[in-house]
Structure 1
Amino acid sequence: MRALVLIAALLAGLPPAASAQEVKSVFVGADPDIEAAEGRWWIYPTGGDGLSAWSSPDKVKWTKSDPLIRLKDIAWADNDRAPRHYLWAPDMVQAAGGWYFYYSVGPQNPTPSRLGVAVCKGPAGPCTDSGKPLVTGGKGFEAIDPAVFIDPKSKTPYLYAGGSAGATLRVWALKPDMVNIDREVPVETPPNFTEGAFVHYRKGIYYLSWSAGRWNDSSYQVHYAVALSPIGPWRYGGALLVGDRKYRGPGHHSFFEDPKDGQWYIVYHRWEGQIGDGPYSGDRRVAIQKIAYRDDGAILPIKMK
């Protein structure tokens, strides 16, 4: 019933309530995924030649690990071809009694962008690539930004990916082994979709969120939609996190719930110390802040100060 009320409210165009708080970024990085395990918090940002974990006992002080996996350890990445390849936008998932690490290998040319998956010994690795790409881009689709969500009702693991040049969202059901595709699931690409899809579930509502705009200028922001299933149909909820005069281009995020007290958070990256609308250069920073929901389940807009 709560989910139906929220969907009805979004369809009716009801104005959302406002929320504001001071937030401090925690380290240089981009495209953060976050997990809780072993009494610590783990953030997995975009890498380059390797992907590392940052961990913290309190979400304030963070320590960087050795690389969980390196580009040179991925045999199918065509590392000897120009331009050089990079590891982007990872997603760590605990499932099926193990840990599984998903990542993008790009850029798109001269070979298609691809998604890979590694099996890990724990949240800090080490991780071993499965030996083959999980999804390969092409025909206008760019295989980037993997995010895996396990439906709490059906227990089906879904892989969400795609964006940027193709600006297309695609979804696959994974096999129980978490390293092979079972089937592709038809979905609609939501409005203003650029990249960085993420799904979370709360009190009967499935939330799909994504980044809109261009990654290196002031148009970058987070939008969301809601549904009664992990594959839609979705009802658009509008912009959730947008830049301001101090912090610009926030996006490529993930949501998480603190298992200790049930508080929900968003972790995302943003540009700091930039002037104008961009394009910007330099380092982005990872920020974490609390989020809140209206009584009908809508997420309150996130205002940065």
Structure 2
Amino acid sequence: MVALPSHAPAQGPAAPPGANPIIRDRFTADPAPLVIGDRLYLYVGHDEAGPGEMFNMREWLVYSTADMRHWTDHGPIMAVTDFKWAKKDAWAAQAIARNGRYWFYAAVEHDDTRPGKAIGVAVSDSPTGPFVDARGSALITNAMTPKGTHSWEDIDPTVLTDDDGTTWIAWGNRQAYIARLKPNMIELDGPITEITPPHFEEGPWLHKHGGLYYLTYASLDRTLHSDERVSYATARSLRGPWTYRGELTGSARNSFTIHPGIAEFRGRWYLFLHNAALRIGDRAGALGRRAVTVEYLHHNRDGTLRPVVQTDAGVSVPPSD
């Protein structure tokens, strides 16, 4: 494990602790926070795209922090090849604590026996892994969502344990889906339901606050924009109906994609994102070379979220309460 002060940029003048991007020695994307006790763990994909490549993602990494300003690098926790039935693409993932263990839901490309994107589940006794395939086969395959319009709709899982102890998983690209998980965490418990909100593109994230459920996601209104933004919807039940609340952020700098991850830590709420503004040596940011960022998140009394402006300062400055 390596301690990484967030003020150690790849190049250029030093940035204050907590400034964006928060990881500066490698390209990272699709942030997924998990709070365990007095530490926040951040699971990310590892962007390694070279010249002419769109994406090259072969493993997942995890970092942790006690103060949101200094991050510890725990290294790779799992490779896409650890799912023996998958052939490539260590795409977006999320981890959750349940039954004394840590469960890791991840999007990959299935092998040719079940073509298309799929979602696997891995497990570990530690939030820093290593994680191993928990069932030896995909939890969700493209064949399970036959009404979808394309083969990569089954990506970007997000998981939430409700107050009654049930755990739910949502996912999707252009179509958004939700299903309940069995207590064993490796099987679906009931039907898959479509919950697609307006302009949904990908990257859903579930959280709950003040009796409301929030579905935050990467959105794309193709009549107005060429890059993704973050939008959100709310509901009184995970089953819906979901009420569209509008955009939460603008687009990410230099990046077509954006990917929200939300957590409460030490009494404050945070929104994790990614952009493509980082440069490491002679490698500039790009679609497949992104960088994770973080901003403060505020819930309004009426259940809406305060719009978030993406900054270089990040959480290096106090929030404007």
Give TM class, smaller chain: 0.7 to 0.9
Q: Deviations over 1:93-118 (max 9, x none)?
A: 00122110110112798822110001
Residue 240 and residue 23 in structure 1: after superposition, are their counterparts in 2 closer, same or farther (change >3 A)? farther
Match of 1:160 among 148, 170, 173: 170
Letter in 1 for 2:116: P
- Distance in structure 2 (CA, Å) of the matches to 1:291 and 1:66: 28
For the 8 Å contact 1:146–1:162, the answer to whether it is kept is yes
For the 8 Å contact 1:218–1:248, the answer to whether it is kept is no
Aligned equivalent of 1:93: 96
Aligned equivalent of 1:9: none
Shift, 1:249, TM fit: 5.0
Q: TM-score, normalised by structure 1?
A: 0.79
For the 8 Å contact 1:117–1:133, the answer to whether it is kept is yes
Q: 1:52 and 2:52 equivalent?
A: no
- Distance in structure 2 (CA, Å) of the matches to 1:295 and 1:239: 18
- Distance in structure 1 (CA, Å) of the matches to 2:127 and 2:118: 23
Match of 2:211 among 196, 201, 204: 204
Shift, 1:211, TM fit: 0.3
CA RMSD of aligned residues (A): 2.5
Aligned equivalent of 2:301: 295
Mean CA deviation greater in 140-149 or 62-71: 62-71
Secondary structure of 1:236's counterpart equals strand
Shift, 1:61, TM fit: 2.1
Residue 208 and residue 55 in structure 1: after superposition, are their counterparts in 2 closer, same or farther (change >3 A)? same
For the 8 Å contact 1:222–1:250, the answer to whether it is kept is no
Aligned equivalent of 2:74: 65
For the 8 Å contact 1:23–1:289, the answer to whether it is kept is no
Shift, 1:282, TM fit: 5.3
Shift, 1:171, TM fit: 1.0
- Distance in structure 2 (CA, Å) of the matches to 1:248 and 1:88: 16
Letter in 2 for 1:227: A
Match of 1:149 among 153, 156, 160: 160
Secondary structure of 2:213's counterpart equals strand
Q: TM-score, normalised by structure 2?
A: 0.76
Aligned equivalent of 2:13: none
Task: Could you tell me which runs of 5 or more consecutive residues in structure 2 were left unpaired when the two chains were aligned.
Answer: 1-17, 47-56, 280-284, 312-321
Identity value in percent: 29
Q: 1:113 and 2:117 equivalent?
A: yes
Letter in 1 for 2:171: A
Match of 1:102 among 100, 105, 110: 105
Shift, 1:304, TM fit: 2.3
For the 8 Å contact 2:229–2:251, the answer to whether it is kept is yes
Shift, 1:123, TM fit: 0.6
- Distance in structure 2 (CA, Å) of the matches to 1:116 and 1:281: 24
- Distance in structure 1 (CA, Å) of the matches to 2:269 and 2:210: 13
Residue 108 and residue 143 in structure 1: after superposition, are their counterparts in 2 closer, same or farther (change >3 A)? farther
Q: Deviations over 1:146-202 (max 9, x none)?
A: 1111112x2211110110xxx111111100011111112423310000001111111
Aligned equivalent of 2:247: 239
Residue 74 and residue 187 in structure 1: after superposition, are their counterparts in 2 closer, same or farther (change >3 A)? closer
Aligned equivalent of 2:277: 272
Aligned equivalent of 2:52: none
Letter in 2 for 1:301: P
Shift, 1:265, TM fit: 0.8
Q: How many residues align?
A: 265
Secondary structure of 2:92's counterpart equals strand
Residue 23 and residue 64 in structure 1: after superposition, are their counterparts in 2 closer, same or farther (change >3 A)? closer
Aligned equivalent of 1:129: 133
Shift, 1:293, TM fit: 2.0
Task: Could you tell me which runs of 5 or more consecutive residues in structure 1 were left unpaired when the two chains were aligned.
Answer: 1-21, 80-84
Q: Deviations over 1:108-138 (max 9, x none)?
A: 9882211000111111011110211000014
Aligned equivalent of 1:15: none
- Distance in structure 1 (CA, Å) of the matches to 2:117 and 2:288: 24
Residue 304 and residue 23 in structure 1: after superposition, are their counterparts in 2 closer, same or farther (change >3 A)? farther
Letter in 2 for 1:61: H
- Distance in structure 2 (CA, Å) of the matches to 1:256 and 1:267: 8
- Distance in structure 2 (CA, Å) of the matches to 1:269 and 1:212: 14
- Distance in structure 2 (CA, Å) of the matches to 1:298 and 1:108: 42
For the 8 Å contact 2:117–2:141, the answer to whether it is kept is yes
